[in-house]
Amino acid sequence: MNNIMFQGTASNVGKSIISAGICRILWKDGYKVGPFKSQNMSLNSYIDKYGGEMGRAQVFQAEACHLLPRAYMNPILLKPSGNNMSQLIMKGKFVRNISSRDYQALKPDLVGWLDQVYQRYQKDFDIVVLEGAGSPVEININKLDISNMEMARIADAPVVLIADIDRGGVFASVVGTLSLMSEEERARVKGVIINKFRGKKDYFAEGVRLLEDIIKIPVLGVVPYQKLGIEEEDGVSEKTYQKSKQDYRQDTLNVAVLKLDHMSNYTDFNVFEHIEGLNLSYISPDKGLEGFGGQGGLGGPDMLVIPGSKNTIGDMKRLNQSPMRDQILEYAKRGGLIIGLCGGYQILGQTLRDDQALDGSQGQVDGLGLLDVYTVFAKEKKTGQVKWTFDREEGYFSGLGGSKIEGYETHLGRTYPGPEDSYKIKDGHILGTYCHGLFDSAEFLSGLLNNIAKKKGLSRDFEVKDYKAIKEAEYDKLADLVRNNIDMEKVYKIIFDRDI
């Protein structure tokens, strides 16, 4: 089987992005390509066409090679929920909540299962692009690592090691990683990629030569640091932290997202980063906001979004103990626009109850009380893609009737009374829905933003481009970046000849 695996010297070195770029190149070169990651730990999931839950990295990799994302591209997904517990999802289906210790004990039994899953999967493709997780040389848990070299062994895949030069220490990270590998593992490594380089690459030519002299493995390329509008995989991305300032301007639309401790599915907000004249910021409950009640001329956000959460009761408890609770209620009292997505929808309700800590925290807690609903957490997880038509015409949502919405749901909570047509609106300025992907509807979002702009007194119209078209253009940019900076001839030799 023709394949290649990308592993990294650490987390966040760019494995997912480089893998996606290679996927795009191989697809453009005429190959049928399949992305694969044996195990992922992420709060940022996606629901495929058949209701299977998977990590976002393999979603954008699948999109890069024009495939329908399927959960078996990421057969094991762990979603941390706090207190050393995670949701265990296998082939897209929620199995149970599991502790770190119990999951480690389960891993030996997963090796044969992964072998079967992969062998069945690879038959459908010319080339499989595999991605590792974290570092392949966490020596205290190496025997239980099914994400890196064990998966390379199962797939009999050659490995390319990726290192991030932007964080510093790139030579030590590459040499150290290789030195901690067994002889058999090191023999699989056929090349190294230096990622996130800033400056003139000519100045680093000597560094490449010195590194190759030490490791006796070719450096396939040095990839420049470039900002791309491609969805991040794990946790809250760097740009989230960079945009956390309370920088509200009167000549723009200011959208604030509540940065919950267990915030999930933050890709709901990626589309905002492609809209000219819109300022997106993330706010922590602990800090509160000066002028938060200030709609329009008072300096506050023009829209507040409460996102999904992997521990909604835990996040609600913290919110109730913070100054933000009263500020949000005051903001709502003044007519501020608030939208809650999934866990955020539950937070807008009267109460949340979880008798068995199914979602991370046990007990009952008061919500914000802005919607006349309450939530009870159940053992069975509800997942699926959804399509519906927005049919309300009031307040900020005037003129949006008929907007087509496509997205997905993934939640353990059951909210009563149930939402009408997948959402609830109160007083024309508070909306709750279980639908992730609400803002990806250009028709809905452009109408909403223009209603906000009109209320704020801005004369400009806000144009929202089709998000799928935006992503396609970004995948092409990524492919060009990778092709122009990585020796693809050597990559092809690694794939087809297993060596250079």
Task: Check residue 222 and give left, alpha or beta (phi > 0: left; psi -120 to 50: alpha).
Answer: beta
What 3-state DSSP class applies to 305? strand
Judge contact between 97 and 117, C-beta under 8 A.
Answer: no
Sequence-separated (6 or more) residues with CB below 8 Å from residue 266: 44, 232, 236, 237, 240, 257, 307
Q: Where are the beta strands (DSSP E) in 312-403?
A: 338-341, 351-354, 363-366, 374-389
CA 301, CA 244: separation in Å to the nearest integer?
13
- Please list, in sequence order, all residues whose beta carbon lies within 8 angstroms of the beta carbon of residue 223, skipping any fewer than 6 positions away: 14, 18, 193, 194, 195, 196, 197, 481, 482, 485, 486
Residue type, 8: G
The whole-angstrom separation of Cα 388 and Cα 369 is: 26
Contact assessment for residue 120 and residue 77, using Cβ atoms and an 8 Å cutoff: no
From residue 287, give the alpha-carbon distance in Å to each of 166, 279, 354, 428. 30, 19, 27, 28
Strands across the sheet containing 351-354: 363-366, 351-354, 374-389, 404-416
- Asked if residue 345 lies in contact with residue 415, where contact means CB atoms within 8 angstroms, the answer is yes
Do residues 255 and 268 make contact, with C-beta atoms less than 8 angstroms apart? Answer: no
Q: Which of the residues 262, 411, 429, 436 is marked catalytic?
A: 436
Q: Is 298 helix (H, G, I), strand (E, B) or coil?
A: helix
d(CA 65, CA 59): 10
Told to judge if 342 belongs to the known catalytic residues of this protein, a careful annotator would answer yes
414 CB-near residues (< 8 Å, 6+ apart): 375, 376, 377, 378, 382
Q: Which of 230, 242, 239, 240 is nearest to 271 (CA)?
A: 230
**Cβ–Cβ < 8 Å for 361, 313:** yes
In angstroms, rounded to a whole number, what is the distance separating the alpha carbons of residues 289 and 480? 42
Strands (E), 49-205: 53-55, 76-82, 85-90, 93-99, 127-131, 159-164, 189-197
For residues 98 and 475, give the distance between their C-alpha atoms in angstroms, rounded to a whole number: 36
Whether 65 is a known active-site residue: answer no
Choose, from 342, 411, 429, 435, the residue flagged as catalytic: 342
Q: Give CA separation, 215 vs 14, 192, 218, in Å.
A: 21, 10, 8
Q: Which residues are catalytic?
A: 342, 436
